[in-house]
Structure 1
Amino acid sequence: MPTKVSAFGPMGAWHGFPPIRVREDFSQWAVGSVQDLHDQLGAAHGDFTVVSPPPGPGTQHRPVGCALIGVNGGSRLLAGWQVRVGHDKLVGEIIKLENTNASIQVYEDTSGLTVGDPVERRKQPLSVELGPGIVDNIFDGIQRPLHAISDLTKDVYIPRGVDVASLNADKKWRYKPVNFREGDPISGGDIFGLVHENDILHSHKIMCPPNVFGTVVKIYGAGTDGNESFTLKDTVLEVRDDTTGVTHKLGLSHMWPVRKPRPVAEKLAGNVALTTGQRIIDALFPSVLGGTCAVPGAFGCGKTVISQALSKHSNSDAIVYVGCGERGNEMAEVLNDFPELTMTVNDREVPIMKRTTLVANTSNMPVAAREASIYTGITLAEYFRDQGMNVSMMADSTSRWAEALREISGRLGEMPADSGYPAYLGARLAAFYERAGRVACLGSPKREGSVTVVGAVSPPGGDFSDPVTAATLGIVQVFWGLDKKLAQRKHFPSVNWLISYTKYMRVLEPFFNKIDPEYSTLRTKCQEILQKEDNLTEIVQLVGKESLSEDQKVIMEVAKIIREDFLQQNAFSDYDFTCPLVKSVGMLRSIILFYNLSQKAIADSPPDAKVTWAQIKTSMNPVLQKIIQTKFQLPKQPEAELKAFFSGLDEEVEQAFQTLSD
């Protein structure tokens, strides 16, 4: 029996065909019937035979939405399966099934599709290829390699329907089989080989796909030296399924559906801090490796700079940076900057791109592919996690992803909720953030990995009551709220210390106490000073500083030092582009020590010879300047040198106050 199909493209346009039974131009939508011909070579073929308008004034037909079920011959379609639409074989995905109707989302511009164009069904959901070659690469939202497409087409634009392998299938990789012999049982997640990818990922682990298990029948690659070269198309291991008797031929890569989380053995609690190189984050609002973080802020607040700083300087083993619906210039900046940045590995400077994967789905690319790009990025991150690595995924920005979700929901005719977003927005966001975490990986040998998700949120006008921001804050454990007023004052990172928070402090206390046993006290005191300053600011604006008591003047002046010299950071300087944890804690300790001794000197002075802030500032000016200038210590100094410097400074501060009291 014939079945109905509707398809809508990313920009919502099908052009190039005459409207049928249409009194107005409804060319944005196309609804037709698809007749299944045969189930050949794993693909169902059909074509469009009727085009009808969407519901609207002057129409007599109301299309139900979408389509491809009840295909002749008994074969059925499933939601999430891939299809190829038209002669150009545009990439599409079935996103909804209802009775005999299915909705197809096309991830490319659908201009020019006409009645009679073929539709081809692939027997797999939207998937990505996982294997060597992912890092130091840039993909679009559905894992098409942009460099390879550029080299193939010699064009700055991506042609419609271009079909290029996600990973280079012709490149030979040096492969070494490990851990298994013929006859051994094997199951999903087991590591059976190693590939040297680059100087950072020197041992890319080749794993058995999570849905494969059985007995090892044949091992390839065990040459005289234990190493041989293979491409991604070659078989490196044969596994027989003892239940069905089917033999699986495993290569260096495998496919995995993007919307299905990769299985793990056990979820674990995070216990190691994510160091970012940003003092306000590392010292006041830290996250764990495997945490969930949100960075909401209005236009121009520095969301992208924070995301890029985390990509450049965090203590992660691999980085997945997803540019989802943001400006193309930002991805271009990443492409220009990252190859110039280096990290030291075995006394050699190695480009940081060797640990980075970029998923670019910028604002001038198809809207619908934004919805897939977030899932593509998190699936790539989970793959590296399963190898036992700590991975950071930057999603810039989840608001654009939610807008794509809103557009698709609207096309399906679903009931809108707040601001037009679908009612299941919170559930989708939660399902995405739940894929983060520290885990015990599936398979042998035993290993642990983590995925840290940092989601930038772009609320319109900086309004944090926006549905996406509100839903995100109910899910994530760390909130770095960016402030428009701080950004306008050129205070960067513009993280507002009064509204930001972290829920990981209790689990991170043992980690920070190893660096400095007084860390928890220092952090609490710092936040207390900043809060008191905020309370006193209104009084100062009304009646001036002279009305304050001496201890309140100390609060105002020390808070100014904390704001301008500790929390503020110049990402483009050679001394402040990043800040190691030892330097951050050392600076904070020196400032809080100065504050405590100042308050003690004022409190302990006799009434007839009261010590004032003016006296302290005058007599302690050289020491105060040294504290202010601690940020000029170069971050690449050895840790022992930094510790020695700050220990000497603390002794100098104590000696100066001793002299003052005498």
Structure 2
Amino acid sequence: MADRTLQGGIKKVSGPVVVAYNMSGAAMYELVRVGTGQLIGEIIRLEGDTATIQCYEETSGLEVGHPVLRTKAPLSVELGPGMLGNIFDGIQRPLEKIAEVCGDCFIPRGVNVPALDRTKKWPFKPANIKVGDPITGGDIYATIKENRLIEHRVMLPPGNHGRVTKIAAPGEYTILDTVIEIEFQGEKKSFNMLQNWPVRQPRPVAKKMMANYPLLTGQRVLDALFPSVLGGTCAIPGAFGCGKTVISQALSKYSNSDGIIYVGCGERGNEMAEVLMDFPALTMTLEDGSEESIMQRTTLVANTSNMPVAAREASIYTGITLAEYFRDQGYNFSMMADSTSRWAEALREISGRLAEMPADSGYPAYLGARLASFYERAGKVTCLGSPAREGSITIVGAVSPPGGDFSDPVTAATLGIVQVFWGLDKKLAQRKHFPSVNWSISHSKYINALETFYDTNEPDFVSVRTKARFILQEEENLNEIVQLVGKDALADKEKIILEAARIIKDDFLQQNSFTPYDKFCPFYKSAWMLRNMTHFYDLSTAAVEKTAHVEGAKITLNVIKQRLGKLVYELSAQKFLDPAEGEEAVKAKLAALNENLTSSFVALEDEFR
């Protein structure tokens, strides 16, 4: 650091952007320390011997001529045991540790605290690997019981290979203790449990695979109508107050991912505080029946709206790099980015400071390319190294278009990239219909990929879902007629469509996140609920059609409601069944309702014959 050849000076300061001279030999995206306070910055443009730097900390007080020190390394994150349950800022500084060291609620400028604890000892257990064995990048050579939810698999960093000359005995080691030594062509290298990885560089994989297992979120409208896969890309656009953050947090709490990286990128600080309060209190039940805090499988990257703009961009890359590390261990991780709009606004501000040519709404012309390079780091992969394993990253990006306008450049660019679109509707939110996912504009391109899963678990589910989508679509078309001539002018068949749609909308698509029975809905319960609702529609329509051309008494919707009112209520009350009763008990009750519907309609038809 003290080498004068690696030192430049400040030429100009403009907000978070600093221009430095005497920087010949510097590389793009190299990490630098700016000013006497040694603020962290990253080179984003090189011209001659001047470098343009984006600073990740407040630049007030910098002066022309202050030193700029090069580090000869890109912006990197530390990967190793101790990441889970931790909370970092956008450039992976541990916020709790900084609070302890500084004793202040604000982060001082230029603070330099290592991301992972250097003193904590971890229980190291070597895999069945011995001296003389060949080893290559990505091979798992040991495991660490990080907590009861996740076993940390220690891998050789990518790009290294050779024969093992020494491996540590089982015991307790810190992340800086040498645990393995390898030799290749006479050259020896030793490794500890800590890896450094540049955030802008995707970690290598053996090959990308087709994802075919659903991301089960516990939200009925998402699992049934617009499913995603483990390794998918999802976008949740919506105006303020539509429930983006609640859906993101529900995914973090209840989804079937092995772990979560939650990036709060430019949203309100209170939202991250809410996550910090809620998550430690939430528990998940293990196979042995014991409860563990969900925080043990979660890493938070908090980069709120009152933190420096430039660090928002870094926080997205930091989050995805942490997720890639766990994916390489063979886990299915999800990354929540809340919200990518704030990241795009940070790009816009930096682009404006650099006097680049603006595109639509002032965003830079490369906005779509940056979004795509982020989203394409998702996916299901075959990991490098042995033993053979598969891992995945699912990215769920919340988008906050101003005023809920989906033609906003960020929303439009995101829509062209992601495979699942969960559009939130302000009108539904105002009616207190949550989750406020609009079933008319939302879509999923993973439906065909999941057919094998449905055939195995719920064989008739695809036809049931198609029927439900048809009912909702028909109801939308009928609503225009109802507004003109009223409900009474409709035929009974059309009235049944409206009634079936009402049941589906109010009792299936709507879900109360704050109740024990409805905060999480397992897939088997969603499938049975929808099956019974569409079964009611089929039976009602058939009964009305059978007596439509008969003289005398006819079966109408009013007759069905009067005679079978209890069954209609039971259809609505399906959601009150608590999954805690057990899968078999819930399935038995829902199957009994299905049989009850069939027998009741047969009896009703016999009566009117």
Whole-Å separation in 2 of the counterparts to 1:65 and 1:328: 27
1:364 to 296, 306, 331: 306
Match of 1:607 in 2: 550
Match of 1:215 in 2: 163
Q: RMSD of aligned C-alpha atoms? A: 1.6
Match of 1:239 in 2: 182
The 3 A distance-change label for structure 1 pair 47 and 207 is: same
2:152 paired with 1:204: yes
2:89 paired with 1:148: no
Q: Is the 8 A contact 2:21 2:50 kept in 1?
A: yes
The 3 A distance-change label for structure 1 pair 102 and 81 is: same
Counterpart of 1:307 in structure 2: which amino acid? S
2:291 paired with 1:349: yes
Q: Which runs of 5+ in 1 are unaligned?
A: 1-35, 55-63
Match of 1:506 in 2: 448
Q: Is the 8 A contact 2:18 2:55 kept in 1?
A: no
2:469 paired with 1:527: yes
Q: Is the 8 A contact 2:578 2:586 kept in 1?
A: no
Match of 2:568 in 1: 624
Q: Is the 8 A contact 1:321 1:393 kept in 2?
A: yes
The 3 A distance-change label for structure 1 pair 117 and 70 is: closer
| SS state at 1:234 partner | coil
Alignment of 1:262-411 (within 5 A): 262-345=203-286, 346-411=288-353
Alpha-carbon deviations, 1:133-173, whole Å to 9, x = none? 00001000000000101111111100101100101111000
Q: Is the 8 A contact 1:37 1:46 kept in 2?
A: no
Counterpart of 1:464 in structure 2: which amino acid? F
2:516 to 557, 574, 591: 574
Match of 1:78 in 2: 27
Counterpart of 1:144 in structure 2: which amino acid? R
2:46 to 83, 97, 105: 97
Counterpart of 2:556 in structure 1: which amino acid? T
2:439 paired with 1:497: yes
Q: Is the 8 A contact 1:296 1:481 kept in 2?
A: yes
Match of 2:589 in 1: 645
| SS state at 1:507 partner | coil
Q: Is the 8 A contact 2:127 2:143 kept in 1?
A: yes
| SS state at 1:636 partner | helix
Alpha-carbon deviations, 1:368-398, whole Å to 9, x = none? 1001000000000000000000001000000
Counterpart of 2:510 in structure 1: which amino acid? Q
Q: Is the 8 A contact 2:235 2:397 kept in 1?
A: yes
Q: 1:538: how far off?
A: 1.1
1:45 to 1, 4, 7: 7
Work out which structure has the larger RCO, using CA pairs closer than 8 Å and 6 or more positions apart in sequence: 2
Alignment of 1:25-36 (within 5 A): none
Alignment of 1:541-580 (within 5 A): 541-580=483-522
| SS state at 1:531 partner | helix
Number of positions where the alignment pairs a residue of Structure 1 with one of Structure 2: 602
Counterpart of 2:164 in structure 1: which amino acid? V
Q: Is the 8 A contact 1:206 1:253 kept in 2?
A: no
The 3 A distance-change label for structure 1 pair 482 and 121 is: same
Whole-Å separation in 1 of the counterparts to 2:12 and 2:253: 51
| SS state at 2:580 partner | coil
The 3 A distance-change label for structure 1 pair 517 and 471 is: same
Alignment of 1:420-435 (within 5 A): 420-435=362-377
Whole-Å separation in 1 of the counterparts to 2:204 and 2:20: 31
Q: Is the 8 A contact 1:320 1:391 kept in 2?
A: yes
Q: Is the 8 A contact 1:179 1:191 kept in 2?
A: no
Q: 1:70: how far off?
A: 5.7
2:410 paired with 1:468: yes
Counterpart of 1:157 in structure 2: which amino acid? F
Whole-Å separation in 2 of the counterparts to 1:516 and 1:53: 59
2:176 paired with 1:230: no
Alignment of 1:449-464 (within 5 A): 449-464=391-406
Match of 1:4 in 2: none
The 3 A distance-change label for structure 1 pair 116 and 396 is: same
Question: Percent of aligned pairs with the same residue?
Answer: 61
Match of 2:579 in 1: 635
| SS state at 1:528 partner | helix
Counterpart of 1:250 in structure 2: which amino acid? F
Whole-Å separation in 2 of the counterparts to 1:523 and 1:475: 25
Q: Is the 8 A contact 1:46 1:119 kept in 2?
A: yes
Whole-Å separation in 1 of the counterparts to 2:259 and 2:580: 21
Whole-Å separation in 2 of the counterparts to 1:205 and 1:65: 41
Q: 1:542: how far off?
A: 1.2
Whole-Å separation in 1 of the counterparts to 2:581 and 2:401: 39
| SS state at 1:233 partner | coil
Q: 1:517: how far off?
A: 1.0
Q: Is the 8 A contact 1:285 1:478 kept in 2?
A: yes
The 3 A distance-change label for structure 1 pair 186 and 492 is: same
Q: 1:115: how far off?
A: 3.2
Q: Is the 8 A contact 1:69 1:100 kept in 2?
A: yes
| SS state at 2:322 partner | helix
- TM norm structure 1: 0.89
Whole-Å separation in 2 of the counterparts to 1:85 and 1:620: 75
Q: 1:217: how far off?
A: 2.0
Whole-Å separation in 2 of the counterparts to 1:257 and 1:166: 14
Whole-Å separation in 2 of the counterparts to 1:439 and 1:114: 48
Whole-Å separation in 2 of the counterparts to 1:69 and 1:587: 69
Whole-Å separation in 1 of the counterparts to 2:13 and 2:507: 65
| 175-184 or 395-404, larger mean C-alpha shift | 175-184
Q: 1:547: how far off?
A: 0.6
